[in-house]
């Protein structure tokens, strides 16, 4: 029986995390795997930290990824990526957007936004930092950041073919936005 | 176009627990459903509304009304469903307990969605204790497939044993998705209403007989549970036997697949004979359950056996694989490669453009504050506002204000108002207001009308002019309602008109009579502006006063080096100009061009 893949997608409320995890689950399911995912709705979605746990393999029991077991942590906001880095397995990788969204604790002066790049360097977390805003602006659509991130993740999830990813994206985005989303996925994959 | 799910009669779907419960209700031929939204239960009704038109589904003003309406529909012979969050069952407890005595003509399933870990609630009560106290059947599914299947079995049990069934789920069932094999809808006839006073009027002489029937019913169900598909023994290594239910079962299978397991799908009444068979075969028993040590206490005291569980894991918070791995066998968790890094918290905030911001900003500026209630506006407690000081339960903002006034006198707290949303006011704030009128209170109640039940993701309610399916419905007139309660001073204001807000609060603080302020502006989830505009900052005009930052808008951060605000073009909400209003030097304006 093959090992279950563990992925955490994180960021802040409203960034498209739940949509990204839907696409990932659909692509994994289309590839013939058992899939489970878990997330939290409600108050957290009002700009708080949001995460989605995705697990796929021959047979999945727990809906939650265990600490120390994540193959990839995908983050749409760079500090949130650090928050979940402790879940990475020794071979795991943090793939994060370079986007900064300051939490209210920082805005109101009760906390300081950390130097994420420096912490990553010091702790030697294997990582890929994506200049997501630049790519999204080049593509002319700020809403495709989550798909760029999935594209970057796809290299670490060889069990899922590009065809399945494209089908999953097509299922989730409106027809007129399909082309830009597929392009976003490819750009992510090139990173 | 994707097919509606009522056109899918076979195959597999990837469903959340909530979507699976909706599916299970539909496949079981459910006719009618009435509920009040509440995380983590809300999507059950939303799914029914969007996908399953065969079920007549409606939002109730509160859980108690929802429960009463399904009770009536069951009396009429319909199969019925009511869903709620755990604390919603407290509101509905009165009909719930007596409905247990009356029983089910048409099948009754009540979903209690508990929230261990308190992701979006005010407590983490375990409603298996409520179900047991009400002497109803409790079922606990462990994934989406079981959420669907158990819902169907629940209707069979309900009609076979003349009992309501409590389907108890938790956040990680409701909001997790897994693959579900689905089937077609089984049409069931509405039986129709038959007069039966002895069955439905629990005056003492009837109620005593009803209670006898309930006790006998539980006894019969105990035996039924012995070979029911809901409960099963998975025998493996006999040195350790785990007794578990719900999501906890999945964590056990994940981290300790080698141990023997008794999986209980029905946790009230407990199938004692099956449990005895299991504990007789294993050397040691450990209980793994989320929430209260419900199984542990009942089973240990019934058989007078040793067994552990709650002390190894916790009665607080959510269970997870780490706790189970470490808890069961004094095991070691997986090695952690990267230590946790101390980071600033990211608490939830009012959205950019949120209508509540104008009200809380004004209260805060006036050094005023509020008694609070359940909804997005609870976030008025957060910095920079710090303008909401109490929360008890749905509707309590008004009663609590009244009580503070009775204890210390209005003159000591002239600037304390009630902050309650329009949906919460209709849910259970109205009676608090009637109490204030009746008992001579003089404070100010602020009804924050954003035309939506927002915190739960945006549902219609009796004030919005639409029903659950988005069709037109009569809209409750809050001003007239408040006047009818006997309040003499009612005013409706736009919370984003800051000078008006300040004037209005001051007038009401000075007034020595009870008053109501309705702040009316739609939630940003209510509409999509046609044009994307963002606030633009002119650093040459800026005097670095930070007044804009003090609005607590997530779209405005502070560049400490340049000492200027930075506006996020992603987050800035077009139809909001609060920052433009608070800037004393016109350094902020709305750029009509914007981006994207």
B343:A114 CB<8 A? yes
B556:A140 CB<8 A? no
Q: Would you call B335 an interface residue with chain A, using a CB distance cutoff of 8 Å?
A: yes
pLDDT of B315 reads 86
pLDDT exceeds cutoff 80 at B277: yes
**Poorest-pLDDT segment among A14-18, A148-152, B399-403, B440-444:** A14-18
pLDDT exceeds cutoff 90 at B2: no
CB burial class (10 A; 0-12, 13-18, 19+) of residue A88? buried
Sequence-distant (≥ 6) Cβ neighbours of residue B62 within 8 angstroms? B36, B91, B92, B394, B426, B427, B428
Q: Would you call B383 an interface residue with chain A, using a CB distance cutoff of 8 Å?
A: yes
pLDDT of B330 reads 65
pLDDT exceeds cutoff 60 at B281: yes
Q: Would you call B528 an interface residue with chain A, using a CB distance cutoff of 8 Å?
A: no
B251:A62 CB<8 A? yes
pLDDT exceeds cutoff 60 at B577: yes
Phi and psi torsions of B326, nearest 5°: -75, -35
Residue B459 CA to residue B354 CA, distance in Å, equals: 16
Confidence of residue A33 (pLDDT cuts 50, 70, 90): very high
Partner residues linked to B181 by β-bridges: B12
Residue B49 CA to residue B26 CA, distance in Å, equals: 11
The answer to whether the CB of B164 falls within 8 A of the CB of B130 is no
Contact residues, B window 250-279, toward A, CB-based 8 Å cutoff? 250-251, 253-255
Residue B134 CA to residue B67 CA, distance in Å, equals: 14
Closest Cα in chain B, distance from residue A137 (Å): 9
Q: CB pairs below 8 Å between A and B: how many?
A: 188
Mean pLDDT of B538-562: 93
List, for residues B403-453, the tens digit of each pLDDT value.
999 999 999 999 999 999 999 999 999 999 999 999 999 999 999 999 999
Residue bearing the bigger pLDDT, B406 or B329: B406
Confidence of residue A15 (pLDDT cuts 50, 70, 90): confident
Global confidence as pTM:
0.96
pLDDT exceeds cutoff 90 at A2: no
pLDDT exceeds cutoff 60 at B595: no
Residue B53 CA to residue B56 CA, distance in Å, equals: 7
The complex's ipTM works out to 0.95
B255:A41 CB<8 A? no
Residue A101 CA to residue A117 CA, distance in Å, equals: 15
The DSSP-derived string for B46-106 is HHHHHH-TTSEEEE-SSHHHHHHHHHHHHHTT--EEEEEEHHHHHHTHHHHHHHHHH--SS
A64:B351 CB<8 A? no
List, for residues B502-519, the tens digit of each pLDDT value.
999 999 999 999 999 999
Q: Would you call B556 an interface residue with chain A, using a CB distance cutoff of 8 Å?
A: yes
pLDDT exceeds cutoff 80 at B367: yes
pLDDT of A13 reads 83
Percent of chain B with pLDDT over 90: 88
List, for residues B291-321, the tens digit of each pLDDT value.
999 999 999 999 998 878 777 778 899 999 9
Contacts of A90 in chain B (CB under 8 A): 335, 337
pLDDT exceeds cutoff 50 at B68: yes
pLDDT exceeds cutoff 60 at B594: no
Q: What is the 3-state secondary structure (H, E, C) of B525-570?
A: HHCCCCCCCEEEECCCCCCCCCCCHHHCCCCEEEECCCCEEEECCC
Q: Would you call B237 an interface residue with chain A, using a CB distance cutoff of 8 Å?
A: no
The answer to whether the CB of B63 falls within 8 A of the CB of B91 is yes
**Residue ranges of domains in chain B, CATH in brackets:** 5-191+198-224 (3.40.50.970), 231-329 (3.40.50.920), 356-526 (3.40.50.970), 534-591 (3.30.70.20)
Phi and psi torsions of B260, nearest 5°: -80, 145
Mean pLDDT of B263-273: 98
Contacts of B552 in chain A (CB under 8 A): 104, 107-108
pLDDT of B344 reads 94
Question: CA torsion sign, A124 to A125 to A126 to A129?
Answer: negative
Mean pLDDT of B221-249: 97
* A5-190 CATH choice from 3.30.70.360, 3.10.310.30, 3.40.920.10, 3.40.50.10860: 3.40.920.10
CB burial class (10 A; 0-12, 13-18, 19+) of residue B588? buried
Residue B455 CA to residue B7 CA, distance in Å, equals: 31
Contact residues, B window 559-588, toward A, CB-based 8 Å cutoff? 568, 570-571
Confidence of residue B593 (pLDDT cuts 50, 70, 90): low
pLDDT exceeds cutoff 70 at A116: yes
List, for residues A44-99, the tens digit of each pLDDT value.
667 888 999 999 999 999 999 999 999 999 999 999 999 999 999 999 999 999 99
Please calculate the CA angle B559-B560-B566 and round it to the nearest 5 degrees: 15
Contact residues, B window 438-477, toward A, CB-based 8 Å cutoff? 455-457
Residue bearing the bigger pLDDT, B161 or B592: B161
Question: Which residue from B232, B307, B304, B221 is spatially nearest to B262, judged by alpha carbons?
Answer: B232
pLDDT exceeds cutoff 80 at B331: no
Confidence of residue B1 (pLDDT cuts 50, 70, 90): low
């Amino acid at each position: 029986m093959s090992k279950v893949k563990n992925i955490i997608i994180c960021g802040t409320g409203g960034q498209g995390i739940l949509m990204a995890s839907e696409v990932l689950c659909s692509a994994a399911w289309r590839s013939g795997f058992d899939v489970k995912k878990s997330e939290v709705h409600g108050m957290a979605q009002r700009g708080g930290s949001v995460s989605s746990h995705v697990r796929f393999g021959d047979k999945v029991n727990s809906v939650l990824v265990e600490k120390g077991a994540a193959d990839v942590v995908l983050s749409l906001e760079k500090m949130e990526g650090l928050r979940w880095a402790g879940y990475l397995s020794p071979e795991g990788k943090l793939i994060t957007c370079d986007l900064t969204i300051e939490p209210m604790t920082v805005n109101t002066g009760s906390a300081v936004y950390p130097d994420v790049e420096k912490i990553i360097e010091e702790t030697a977390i294997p990582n890929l930092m994506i200049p997501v805003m630049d790519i999204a602006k080049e593509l002319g659509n700020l809403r495709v950041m989550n798909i760029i991130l999935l594209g970057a993740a796809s290299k670490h999830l060889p069990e899922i073919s590009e065809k399945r990813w494209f089908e999953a994206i097509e299922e989730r985005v409106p027809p007129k936005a399909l082309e830009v989303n597929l392009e976003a996925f490819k750009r992510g994959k090139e990173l | 176009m994707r097919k509606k799910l009522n056109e899918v009669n076979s195959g597999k779907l990837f469903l959340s627990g909530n979507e699976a419960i909706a599916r299970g209700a539909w496949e079981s031929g459910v006719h009618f459903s009435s509920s009040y939204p509440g995380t983590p239960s809300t999507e059950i009704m939303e799914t029914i509304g969007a996908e399953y038109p065969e079920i007549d589904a409606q939002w109730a003003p509160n859980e108690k009304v929802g429960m009463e309406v399904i009770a009536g529909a069951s009396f009429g012979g319909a199969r019925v469903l009511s869903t709620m969050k755990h604390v919603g069952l407290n509101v509905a407890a009165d009909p719930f307990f007596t409905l247990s005595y009356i029983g089910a003509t048409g099948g009754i399933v009540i979903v209690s969605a508990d929230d261990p870990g308190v992701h979006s609630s005010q407590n983490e009560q375990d409603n298996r204790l409520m179900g047991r106290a009400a002497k109803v059947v409790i079922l606990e599914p462990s994934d989406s497939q079981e959420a669907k299947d158990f819902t169907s079995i629940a209707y069979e049990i309900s009609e076979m044993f003349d009992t309501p069934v409590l389907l108890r789920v938790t956040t990680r069932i409701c909001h997790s998705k897994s693959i579900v094999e689905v089937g077609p809808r089984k049409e069931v006839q509405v039986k129709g209403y038959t007069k039966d006073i002895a069955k439905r009027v629990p005056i003492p002489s009837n109620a005593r007989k009803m209670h006898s029937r309930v006790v006998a019913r539980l006894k019969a169900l105990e035996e039924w549970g012995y070979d029911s598909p809901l409960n099963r023994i998975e025998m493996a290594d006999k040195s350790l036997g785990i007794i578990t239910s719900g999501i906890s079962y999945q964590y056990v299978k994940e981290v300790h697949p080698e141990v023997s397991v008794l999986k209980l799908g029905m946790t009230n009444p407990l199938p004692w004979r099956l449990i005895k068979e299991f504990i007789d075969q294993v050397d040691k028993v450990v209980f793994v359950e989320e929430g209260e040590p419900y199984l542990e206490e009942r089973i240990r005291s019934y058989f007078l056996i040793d067994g552990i569980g709650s002390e190894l894991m916790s009665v607080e918070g959510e269970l997870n694989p780490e706790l189970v791995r470490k808890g069961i066998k004094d095991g070691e968790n997986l090695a952690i490669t990267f230590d946790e890094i101390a980071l600033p918290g990211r608490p939830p905030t009012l959205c950019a453009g949120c209508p509540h911001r104008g009200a809380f900003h004004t209260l805060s500026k006036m050094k005023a504050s509020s008694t609070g209630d359940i909804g997005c506006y609870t976030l008025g407690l957060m910095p920079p506002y710090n303008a909401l000081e109490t929360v008890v339960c749905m509707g309590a903002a008004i009663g609590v204000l009244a009580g503070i006034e009775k204890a210390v006198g209005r003159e000591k707290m002239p600037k304390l108002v009630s902050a309650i949303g329009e949906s919460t006011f209709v849910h259970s704030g109205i009676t608090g207001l009637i109490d204030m009128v009746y008992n001579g209170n003089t404070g100010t109640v602020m009804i924050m009308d954003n035309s939506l039940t927002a915190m739960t993701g945006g549902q219609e309610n009796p004030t919005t002019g639409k029903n659950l399916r988005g069709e037109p419905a009569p809209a409750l007139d809050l001003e007239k309602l408040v006047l009818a309660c006997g309040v003499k001073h009612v005013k409706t204001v736009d919370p984003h008109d800051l000078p008006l807000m300040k004037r209005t609060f001051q007038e009401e603080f000075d007034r020595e009579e009870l008053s109501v302020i309705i702040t009316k502006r739609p939630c940003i989830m209510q509409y999509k502006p046609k044009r994307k505009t963002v606030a633009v900052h002119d650093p040459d005009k800026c005097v670095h006063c930070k007044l804009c930052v003090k609005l607590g808008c997530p779209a405005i951060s502070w560049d400490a080096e340049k000492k200027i605000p930075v506006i996020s073009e992603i987050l800035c909400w077009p139809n909001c100009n609060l920052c433009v209003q608070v800037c004393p030097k016109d350094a902020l304006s709305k750029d009509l061009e914007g981006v994207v």
